[in-house]
Structure 1
Amino acid sequence: MTEGRRTRIVAIASPGGRSAGGGMGTVSRLIADGLEGAGSGYGAVILDPRGAGSPWLWPAFFLGVCGRLGWLWARARLSVLHLQVSERSSFIRKGLLLALGRALRVPVVLHHHGAELIPTYAGGPRWLRAIMRRTIRGADLNIVLGDVWRRFLVEEIAADPAKVVVLANASADLGSRSPPEPSQGARPGLLMLANLSPRKGVGELLAALARLREEGLDVPTMLAGGGEVERYRAEAARLGIADLCTFTGWVGRAEVERLLGQARALVLPSYEEGLPMAILEALSAGVPVVATPVGSIPENLTNGETCLLVQPGNVDELVSALRAIMTDEHLRERLVRNGRALFEKRFAPGAYIQAVVAMYDRLGAGRP
């Protein structure tokens, strides 16, 4: 963070802080770094209200964040409190931080990333729904990733429509960087970047790979991410495709870029999503995408033009899409070309940072 005399500070509360993986961590770093380089007059700090390790330790981290916010406010530096929220217990922590921001008279932005926001509210206990409503309605601005969530906040939560703004995620431009060195012996194939779980459609992907092997098409696949790794490693062995599947566990930013540089396609057959950073990064890197029409993916990508979309849980459709992406060069080239054009038009970081700065300006710069 640049400590200029007139710099207005945006405090971004995001699980894991600056070093976090996943979509929220990536977006938080993109905003913080973009503000520093945009000449906007804003600087940013990324604060971790949850911490790593035991979930029982989060109150200590939370109190540390509250102390840091109070220190910034006392120096008349805190201008905006930007809260990255997902679902479930995330609303408890962010609701408390929102109350602190209101007490300090600092504008509060609630930035929604939770793919399961709607089912969490619909199926949650009464006390959790009350916390979610109070937090959402209390924010000075709610940022959502697509129209599906805007409608939900306005129609179900009764949020003020003037305080709900759609802003799709953006990504660093990986296509502008030098391609990574290929690993010795690496075979171009599919890449999945995800925390491995049933929600991500991992079982369906493995079933599709097994079907393709039965047809005589072996597709090497890298499954990069944490989660239920051993469960799916055993499933791959049971299906007779263990030799096709590499499970890396969690990977860092440099490794993500290297894997994208080697992939023939990114596959993400999820049941629920927001607007995954992995898809935006693949578009920027010139890697075609196979995904599902969930969340705000269908609001931004077009089947057959900028990606291939299959219905969640439909292994037949997934088999057909993977077969096409592995064997049809004309299709693959079209998806690469159109996907890159879409990234430059809609997901490049420059316009995204300008939009964020405009939102902060609209809220004002906090205490004089």
Structure 2
Amino acid sequence: MKICMIVPNSTVKGGIAAVVNGYREHNFGERYRITYVESYCDGSKMRKLLKALGSYFCFLKVIITNRPDLIHIHSSFGPSFYRKMPFIYLGKMFRIPIINHIHGAEFDPFYGKASEQKKRLIQKVYRKCTRLIALSDEWKKNLKLIVPEDKITVLPNYCIVPEKVNPERKRQILFLGEIGKRKGCFDIPDILEKANLRGLDATMVFAGAGSREDEEALKKELAKRNLDKNVKFAGWVNGREKTKLLEESRIFLFPSYNEGMPMAVLEAMAYGLAVVTTRIGGIPNLITDGQTGFLAKPGENEFFAQKIEKLLQEPELAQRLGEGARQKAKEKYSFESHLNSLLRIYEETVKESDVSRSNNT
């Protein structure tokens, strides 16, 4: 089976690239031949525009010369939706089945609060797809507002679970992801102050990147609370640098306001960190409150602070929660399980499309 997969550049910062890079690094098996078409890159507006335009020509060439059996598009909301429209229209024109794998996090601004005209456009585009992939049952409920339920399949994200983890952890709290308001980063200074970070001689590490304005505003707020000496900014990390932070940290703090199914939480689970996060999107599928981590509503800083302080004071509790999270990651969110489910979706989608074409001839 020949698959054309529409993906971001491998160096792009974010969860979609993390998912796709895992695909690139693993073998899909002899039966599946994957052609990757990169439609997005980081950089200036001009660079992004040229990348998108080039990807449409590349995609058309693949369709004409290689005729894929299936198109697998990785998309989000906002600008990503509009960038993916030409791929969907071209795929439909050539009568190739299309899977739209939706990684978006903010549904209300995209669809719930959209104008009627924009809603009709979104419905029209999504209904041209043969199948939509949602990251969780919660996201399936949202997408049911746009397309019939039988067009939606749930496929959670995955994590690579290491064989062993470091039992010796620093008094260190880790945040992984984009530094900005949506991820709850501006709640963290208040949480750390309430958790008595300085008094407990612990360290907070921000491993991620955001706009210069957001990073400076966050640093200013930390300094105002006399927390700057206990906080480190590692920048965007990958590879061994990220692994080292996951291996040595005790707690993963992720007070996000909007998520699909965050790869950062899955990675923290895989490495046995005690996860303190919010009850949004697909996160409650990952974290069971009190068993594999702690959950609260976004903005409940007092709750987060209490749990952070408790985990710093009780390393055995942090270890127990981390072990539970790691076991759950291994049992439910392994790459092997994810890939088997994805390949089954491929087979079902192509078969379904063949039947539909036969009925229309």
Task: Say yes or no: TM over 0.5.
Answer: yes
- 3-state SS in 2 of match to 1:338: helix
Q: Could you state the TM-score of these two structures normalised by the residue count of structure 1?
A: 0.88
Q: Tell me the equivalent position of 1:80.
A: 70
Q: Which residue of 1 aligns with 2:179?
A: 196
2:6 corresponds in structure 1 to: 13
Listed as ranges, the matches of 1:264-283 within 5 Å are: 264-283=250-269
Going from structure 1 to structure 2, the CA distance change for 1:254 and 1:12 (only over 3 Å counts) comes to farther
Letter in 1 for 2:6: A
Match of 1:341 in 2: 327
> Is the contact between residue 18 and residue 46 of structure 1 (CA under 8 Å) also seen in structure 2?
no
1:43 to 33, 41, 66: 33
1:323 aligns with 2:342: no
- Cα distance in 1 for partners of 2:30, 2:118 equals 37
C-alpha distance in 2, partners of 1:215/1:191?
16
Indicate yes or no: 2:101 matched with 1:106. Answer: no
Q: Decide whether the 8 Å contact of 1:84 with 1:112 is kept in 2.
A: yes
Shift of 1:178: 7.7
- Alpha-carbon distance, 1:11 to partner: 2.3
1:129 aligns with 2:116: no
Q: CA deviation at 1:216?
A: 2.8
CA distance in 2, matches of 1:74, 1:97: 13
Match among 262, 276, 293 for residue 307 of structure 1: 293
Runs (5+) with no aligned partner, structure 2: 355-361
Asked if the contact 2:272/2:319 (under 8 Å) is kept, the reply is no
Q: Structure 1 residues 29 and 133 mapped into 2: Cα distance closer, same or farther (>3 Å)?
A: same
Paired AA for residue 45 in structure 2: P
CA contact (8 A) 1:92 1:131 kept: no
Partner Cα separation in structure 2 for residue 257 and residue 43 of structure 1: 30
Cα pair 2:266 2:286 within 8 Å, conserved: no
Match of 2:158 in 1: 170
Q: In the aligned structure 2, how far is the partner of 1:273 from the partner of 1:127? A: 26
* Structure 1 position 323, deviation (Å): 0.9
Whether contact under 8 Å (2:130, 2:151) holds in the other structure is yes
Contact kept in structure 2, 1:147 and 1:166, CA below 8 Å: yes
Instruction: Report what 2:341 is aligned to.
Output: 355
- Counterpart secondary structure, 1:14: strand
Output the amino acid matched with 1:272: N
Runs of 5+ consecutive residues of structure 1 not aligned to the other structure: 1-7
Number of aligned positions between the proteins: 350
Instruction: Tell whether the 8 Å contact from 1:202 to 1:269 is kept in structure 2 after alignment.
Output: yes
2:205 corresponds to 1:222: yes
Contact 1:91 1:135 in 2 (8 A): no
1:240, 1:210 → 2: CA distance?
9
Cα deviations by residue, 1:277-320 (Å, 9 ceiling, x for unpaired): 11111111111211110101113321000111122101110111
Give the C-alpha shift of residue 213 in structure 1. Answer: 2.8
Report the 3-state secondary structure (helix = DSSP H, G, I; strand = E; otherwise coil) of the residue aligned with 1:364.
helix
Cα distance, 1:230–1:47 mapped onto 2, change above 3 Å: farther
CA pair 64-215 structure 1, distance change in 2 beyond 3 A = closer
Root-mean-square deviation (CA), in Å?
A: 2.3
State, as a whole percentage, how many aligned pairs show the same letter: 26
Segments of 4+ moved more than 6 angstroms: none
Take 1:322 and 1:89, find their aligned partners in 2: how far apart are those partners?
A: 36
Following superposition, the deviation at residue 129 of structure 1 comes to: 2.6
Question: How does the TM-score come out when normalised to structure 2?
Answer: 0.90
Q: Check conservation: 1:169, 1:277, Cα contact below 8 A.
A: yes
SS of 1:169's partner is coil
Cα deviation 1:152-186 (Å, max 9, x = unaligned): 221x21x122210111100122x22686xx9xxx9
CA contact (8 A) 2:2 2:34 kept: yes
Contact 2:165 2:247 in 1 (8 A): no
Shift of 1:127: 4.2
